Structure 1
Amino acid sequence: MNHNMKESRKRILMVDDDEDDFFLVSTVLQDVAPDQYDLTWASTYDKALEAIGRKEHDLYLVDYRLGMHTGIDILRHFQEIGYEAPVIMLTGKGDYAIDNEAMIAGATDYLVKGDITGPELERAIRYGITEFKHLRAIAENERKYFGIFEKSHDIIILANCDMNIIDANPNARKKIQYSREELLVMNMKDLFFQESDAKRFFEEICTEAAIVQQEFTFRDKSGKKLSVLVNANKLDEQLGTFLCVAEDITDKKREELEKRQQEKFVISGRIARVIAHEVRNPLTNIILAVGQFRQEEVPDPDDTNLYLDIIERNCTRINQLVTELLQSTRMMELHLQDHNLNDLTGSSLALATDRLQLNGIRLNLELTDETIMLTADEEKIQIALLNIFINAIEAMTPGKGVLTISTYREGKAAIIRIQDNGMGIPEENKARLFDPFFTSKTKGTGLGLTSTQNIIINHKGHIQVESAMGEGTTFIITLPAN
């Protein structure tokens, strides 16, 4: 027989002081399942202990009567050395009381020697080995999940649809500051800061069977708020039990709020700088003109007109700047009407015709054949698209630029895709593209794309940008179609 065959055979130790019994069992097993089992024999209690100590068998067949000892002593030895293995107890006829005792001591099965047939013995051995493996796997899993439950940094609560808490992990007890005893007599709705939240939570988990990534506010024993991100799953329909895993995001939320305020501060700082810069130049001109004007005792009419022109021109410039700033950032009033997607795109493009020609840009139109209607403010959408067209034209090399404009439907959305083959946008600028006053141009307020985004958002749409350095940029505008 080859080595592999021997390797794959199940190893069994038979503990029995009767050599005939060992011979019979050997023969029967070989008949029923040839070459499946490798059976060895321990003829005394001491030899048995020594062999068991080596822990090298898949299953143990143990005779109940062993001279001074019994099979129960063998089972206790397994427990003493902390060795778990399947053990089948063999007894003579009439020892039925032993059955119970053997099971309590940890036997896997119990067989009466005279009554057993070969196939039954083989089946008992096979079941003993596989059943034991299954139980081992289940115990291993239980240990693993219990470990997760015990050591998790999240709040884990097991409860039912009567809202009674069945169990809570150590971290839940630590965060909510109740002892396990207190939690086990509590109602889960008492953990919610607001009753309406508790109601929403239970309606959802008990009807939908799962809650994914939802924010709730819990309260601890002292009444302090905890912001939590909850995932919950129904475990048992019959019992109505569910497992709730809540991540404490209180600190995270606080940090986010601080970051948002910091960002607002940074943006308002940028706004202030741009205003200072853009407004200061015209103001300086106005002050100079007024100064000149004052110096002349009898002003010359020509000079007077010159100074007044300077003052007027610069006042208009400041006024324009302020208007532009307000328009780009405020919520706007929309005059909505139904428009055809292609017509809107075309009329906006017409406004950029001169620039396209001046820069020698080739236009590539891929407009849909489908009639896609949308409700929009034509004038505002034209401003939004024109800003993108101008950006695209300025990003391309004169004479070599290709501007590709496509329109199509995607589900319930109307899409306008504007693609250039310009220099692309550096990764670090992508995130700031729509910020007020962010610009990489020497002349320009950096309000164009802020305006565009504001208009698209007001139309309940969104805008996304894809760009690769040296290859070009694509703006994708999504608007709700009718």
Structure 2
Amino acid sequence: MKRSREFEEESFSFAYRNNSILDRSGELFKSLFAEAIDGIIFADHEGRIVLANHSALKIFECTSEELMNKEIWDYVYQKDSHFHKVMKESRVNKAVRDELVFLMPNGQLKNLEFTYKAHSIAGYDMAIFRNVSERYYFEQTLKDSEERFRKVFEGTLDGMILWNKQNVIIDVNPVAASWLGVSREKMIGRDLIKLLNFKGRERKMIEHHQEELEREGKSDMLLPVQEESGGHFYEISSKGNLTSNLNLTVIREITEKMALQEQLRKSDTLNVVGELAAGIAHEIRNPMTALKGFIQLLQLSIKEDHSLYFNVITSELARIESIITDFLVLAKPQAIEFKNHPINSIMNDTLDLLNAQALMHNVQFELDNRGNLPDVFCEPNQIKQVFINIIKNAIEVMPNGGKVRIKIQQGEDEFVHIMIQDEGMGIPKDKINKLGEPFYTTKERGTGLGLMISFKIIKEHHGKIEVESEEGSGSTFHIYIPVHAS
């Protein structure tokens, strides 16, 4: 820099001697020129550099000797359309203010902001430069970051909502707009909480989520929502003060994930029950056989006064044996031979078996099986077992009597639809989904194995069982069995 200082002194002396750029009374100007933070360059009428201050040499990273007699515009990196536009403006207006990329003598590229004025002082052109490379880098980095965020925001499979502390929606991505059923344009500027319009338990959960977000700066929650299409689960994660005092909420629907987890849980439970059942059934069956044998031997010597006790013991042993049989069905795969069979025939056989029990409980059957129904592809005894389990349950939930309505009809998608409806007390909504789980029952003396086996059999037939119920209005079991082999 010593050489550049010497050059400046020589240049000023040259200017003084020739009375061209500075006059001898320009000491203040000379001081400002030398100490200016911005780079200042003077060029003659041919565009050659004749004078440069210390800041200019620092920007161009060269000595005065390297800069002298070069043309300013020689250092422009690309002579593109923008450059030619700048040149044209400088010729027409004798002045221009813009920004270009310059190639330094050492090979470095810099973004320089400049002001250029022709014939500015004593007939010389003046250019003032400022290095904005760092600012340009940060601006470009910010722009790239915003573009990346926008791509993630718009392209993610999760719903995303940006909203401020006043709950006003600032932006929303297509997924969130689709879930909420409102277009993006109509959502922006609206109150998020009012738009969600949750009530009851869901509203309290949202309020708690918002309070935790304010307190902790982040909040996560699992929100179950009952919609017309059924129950849905949403995983909601919010972060506060993400940028410019904005909150970001990410919404992910996990209904299928929850259903899969529930299936895995039931499957694991079923495996455990199967292993447990195999052990229990074999261990209990042997002493049970001995007990039944000795009870039968004692039957002849039982006095009439004790006949009630004998009947209770016999009944309970029969019940234990029935439970063991159910356990064995779960414990080992059954040999199944599927064939086409008339569904009406299976149902009629079932009702004949249960008719006596129905009469004892003052229950009447109403069967509607009109129409030309196709045969179903099934194992008849297993389907009969399903009908027995469900109709027996229907009888038992009506201790004061009533009607069991049974309707068989052609369903959709090559299925036969069997509907079994009782007039019992119904099942609470939160317990319907648990039907068919191991040991889950709504009866006081039940084991839950009957329904569990029924669900298992229908699943193996590639069918399905659906339950609808209201407390106080009875329950309806819908059984769908495919007509053809799957």
TM-score by length of 2: 0.39
Q: What TM-score results when the alignment is normalised by the length of structure 1?
A: 0.39
Larger radius of gyration: 2
